[in-house]
Amino acid sequence: MDFETLCIHGNNNKYDNTGAISVPIFQTATFAHPGVGESTGYDYTRQQNPTREHLENILTRMEEGVDAMAFSSGMAAISAVMELFSPGDHIIASDDLYGGSHRLFHHISIKNGISFDLVDTADLSLIEPLIRTNTRALFIETPTNPMMQVTDLAGVAEIARKHQLLLMVDNTFLTPYFQKPLKLGADIVIHSGTKYLGGHNDTIAGFVVTRDKTLADKLRFIFKTTGAGLAPFDSWLLIRGIKTLPIRMDRQQQNAGVIARWLCQQERIKAVHYVGLESHPGYQISKRQATGFGGMISFEVDSEKTAHHILEGVKLIQYAESLGGVESLITYPMLQTHGDIPEEQREAKGINNRLLRLSVGIESVNDLIDELDRVLKETVQ
């Protein structure tokens, strides 16, 4: 089954005989038992619910794994994965991470006895020198948020196998439509389903997908025990959103490519970070391991004043956190997504008071460029 069809018909399980085209929302907390010691297969929604199960089966097939778990948020998904580790364990992670992941690792996981080394995983030669006897895993974002660095997943998977490390990949920016980390050697894939998978900025969700049955069983136990499963109605929203994932991402990528090239020609734009630009350091790796570049652009303007003017002057493009929806959103990473990262670390990565992050939507690209052109010209006056 082709991916586009899979997004619509990826789980053909029917839960009734009404002929309903839309998956039913099983809005129930608990399920009755047919008899003592008997079960319908569903006992309590915290453990499993038919609507959520339908969604999880679709994600499993999309990522080509053995099991997927749908969480109440992307951070709930990462938090559950961190429960695989014990005090004294060490993890190597990309040094350009979503701010929420950085906050979790440095304020919660470290408190729980797990240590971290952050490194530019786009340079594979920097990873092995950090591996210790207590290193247990590698945590990779690619492309990274917000600097769009690209890690060679097949290369890092080889390092993980050599040292018997778990490889975890945050695949939020590209989704399985453009990139399939499990096929490239990852053990666990993580998503913020809030973003491209949901696609409409109307619900929060997260996913963990794995290719190993033993690992899946461990994660299922954590999932059931910690209790952050996605609610039935939110599961239905994700099922609906995924149906249009390919056509949304194709349009977002098309728009992003046009906008990124336009930005490169603007005098007040000093740097453009978009993986689909041939000048991007990760362009060739992306061509090899992914089928698309996505719809995320970060760019640096000439001054803090210009950055503030753009944020306060946009109307069609909205100044808001999050990404991946049909609406274009612009974000100020240093204050929003990465506000909790120490200033020195932010600045070292280029996350300064001149950097903006643009999540390109599916609007007319001409309207989006007209908007950006207007606010950039206004900054001159």
According to DSSP, the β-strands at 135-141 and 90-94 are parallel
> Could you confirm whether 177 is annotated as catalytic?
no
Q: Pick the catalytic residue: 61, 95, 98, 332? A: 98
Between CA 324 and CA 200 the distance in angstroms is 8
CB 142 within 8 A of CB 153: yes
> Could you confirm whether 224 is annotated as catalytic?
no
Q: Would residue 95 be called left, alpha or beta, if left means φ above 0 and alpha means ψ between -120 and 50 degrees?
A: alpha
List of residues 6+ apart from 325 with CB closer than 8 A: 195, 198, 199, 200, 201, 359, 361
> Could you confirm whether 98 is annotated as catalytic?
yes
Among 59, 85, 335, 98, residue whose Cα is nearest residue 176: 59
Between CA 317 and CA 313 the distance in angstroms is 9
> Could you confirm whether 61 is annotated as catalytic?
no
Q: Pick the catalytic residue: 89, 170, 187, 234? A: 170
For the CA atoms of 89, 182, 207, 75, what is the dihedral angle to 10 degrees?
Answer: 40
Return the DSSP state at 23: P
Q: Pick the catalytic residue: 52, 61, 180, 195? A: 195
Count how many residues are written for the chain.
381
Residues identified as active-site? 46, 98, 170, 195
